[in-house]
């Protein structure tokens, strides 16, 4: 009975215990100063960097985004092939809709009235010939435009090349026009509609801000100083902000990044959460290593002529692809990351003790006194300890 009560009591005793390390307090100008300075550094780092700069007390969420774009503008071209020609949005945006990117045609090489027939290959190494023996029937070179028939025919008065089965007449392998044909494209405008969502915080917003009304939207154009909230951008302005020249870029085409950054501190009023637009050229225009510059692709319009034969107009289109990239994260106070960062900060405070202990026990004149006070010893080495002086 007495024993049972003792056992119970000792469990109780154990439960109501609190263990705290015994501390040696050293009162010293030098050590104290080093200690406080190190502590101050760590605390300043934890508070300043982790809490203020990185907002470690906030839970964060990545942005979900939906982008639609709408280009407007008219271009006029005047060529010997086509005469005066008007280009509107249905003509120069290819394909007509994409998820968060749009392509604007700025320059082109056009080959009219192609049909499936026979014609001499464009003169190039490997396609020149003097007789049929130089041409191999059925050969299809990736650099060529068709399948060789095996005949050697006149390309011009001076030159003979292998005949091919292809879409004839062949496209001439020449440089794109300079200045670009759709030079007017610099004045095209694009309306970018962007809705974002931070799912964790159930927060929705869009880049057409609440105060923007229909009247303003019908006549505004983005300008970093006067109209920073207008979601309508002039193509030339975007290219200029990326330190590029529109007319130069338009000749060979290229890829532009339209970056929309939504950095939102949701502990602040939600009206402070606004998009920031930046523009950057994404493809490389390194003049030293200028291999395969710009951006172009080929597409065709197919027709049938009176004899029900298929003909096509082949267009090698050069232009600027604008990739809309939406970035950003939102933060809101949450106890979990706060505790985590507090814990990490405390762990770093442990470094202070390591640094100061090392100074106290090795560098100070009174290090022996401190050693004596800080450490107690239990020695198991009977033999060894007898030998130590």
Is 333 marked as a binding-site residue?
no
Site membership for a second copy, residue 175 (CB under 8 A): no
Which 203-242 positions form the footprint of a second copy (CB under 8 A)? 204, 206, 208, 210, 212-214, 217-218
* C-beta of 276 vs 298, nearer to a second copy: 298
Residue 27 CB, nearest distance to a second copy (Å)?
Answer: 5
Give 223's Cβ-side CA count (13 Å radius). 6
Say if residue 189 carries a ligand binding annotation: yes
Among 271, 284, 334, 368, binds a second copy (CB under 8 A): 284
Quick one: which segment of 69-77, 128-136, 151-159, 244-252 binds a second copy (CB under 8 A)? 69-77
Cβ proximity of 100 and 321 under 8 Å? no
**CB distance 105 to 320 below 8 Å:** no
Query: Per the annotation, does 297 bind a ligand?
Result: yes
CB burial class (10 A; 0-12, 13-18, 19+) of residue 75?
buried
Q: Which is nearer to a second copy, 55 or 321 (CB)?
A: 321
78 is in an annotated binding site: no
Size of the site for a second copy (CB under 8 A): 145
Find out whether 355 and 88 touch, Cβ atoms under 8 Å. Answer: no
- With CB under 8 A as the contact rule, the residue among 1, 4, 29, 269 that binds a second copy is 29
* Near a second copy by CB under 8 A: residue from 60, 68, 329, 338: 68
Coil, strand or helix: which one is 177? coil
Residue pair 299/94 in contact (Cβ under 8 Å)? The answer is yes
Q: How far is CA 386 from CA 263, 382, 389, in A?
A: 69, 6, 8
In the complex, what is the shortest distance from the CB of residue 389 to a second copy, in angstroms, rounded to a whole number?
Answer: 6
Binds a second copy (CB under 8 A): choice among 283, 329, 337, 338:
283
Check residue 299 for interaction with a second copy (CB under 8 A).
yes
Which among 62-70, 129-137, 174-182, 263-271 is the span making contact with a second copy, rule CB under 8 A? 62-70
Q: Tell me: does residue 16 bind a second copy (CB under 8 A).
A: yes
Radius of gyration of the chain (CA): 38
Question: Does residue 351 contact residue 208 with C-beta atoms inside 8 Å?
Answer: no
Token pair recorded at residue 256? 């532009």
């Amino acid at each position: 009975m007495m024993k049972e009560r003792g056992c119970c009591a000792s469990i109780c005793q154990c439960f109501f215990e609190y263990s705290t390390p015994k501390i040696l307090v050293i009162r010293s100008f030098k050590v104290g100063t080093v200690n406080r300075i190190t502590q101050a550094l760590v605390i300043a780092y934890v508070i300043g960097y982790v809490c203020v700069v990185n907002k470690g007390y906030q839970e964060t969420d990545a942005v979900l985004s939906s982008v639609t774009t709408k280009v407007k503008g008219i271009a006029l071209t005047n060529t010997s092939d086509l005469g005066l020609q008007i280009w509107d949005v249905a003509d120069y945006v290819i394909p007509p809709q994409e998820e968060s990117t749009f392509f604007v045609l700025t320059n082109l090489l056009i080959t009219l009235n192609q049909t499936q027939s026979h014609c001499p290959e464009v003169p190039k190494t490997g396609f020149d010939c003097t007789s049929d023996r130089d041409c191999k029937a059925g050969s299809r070179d990736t650099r060529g435009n068709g399948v060789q028939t095996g005949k050697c025919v006149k390309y011009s008065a001076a030159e003979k090349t292998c005949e091919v089965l292809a879409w004839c007449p062949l496209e001439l392998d020449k440089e794109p026009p300079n200045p670009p044909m759709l030079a007017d494209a610099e004045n095209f405008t694009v309306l970018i509609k962007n809705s974002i969502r931070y799912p964790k915080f159930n927060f929705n917003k869009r880049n057409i801000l609440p105060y923007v009304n229909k009247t303003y939207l019908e006549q505004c154009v983005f300008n970093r100083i006067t109209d920073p909230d207008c979601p309508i951008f002039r193509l030339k302005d975007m290219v200029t902000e990326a330190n590029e020249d529109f007319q130069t870029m338009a000749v060979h085409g290229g890829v532009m990044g339209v970056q929309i950054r939504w950095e939102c501190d949701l502990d602040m009023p939600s009206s402070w959460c606004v998009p920031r637009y930046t523009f950057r050229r994404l493809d490389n225009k390194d003049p030293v290593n200028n291999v395969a510059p710009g951006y172009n692709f080929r597409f065709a319009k197919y027709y049938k002529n009176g004899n029900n034969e298929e003909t096509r107009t082949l267009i090698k289109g050069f232009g600027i692809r604008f990739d809309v990239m939406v970035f950003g994260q939102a933060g809101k106070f949450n106890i979990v990351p706060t505790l985590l960062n507090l814990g990490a900060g405390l762990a770093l405070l442990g470094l202070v003790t390591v640094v100061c202990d090392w100074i106290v026990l090795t560098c100070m004149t009174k290090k022996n006194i401190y050693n004596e006070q800080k450490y107690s010893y239990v020695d198991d080495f009977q033999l060894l300890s007898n030998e130590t002086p």
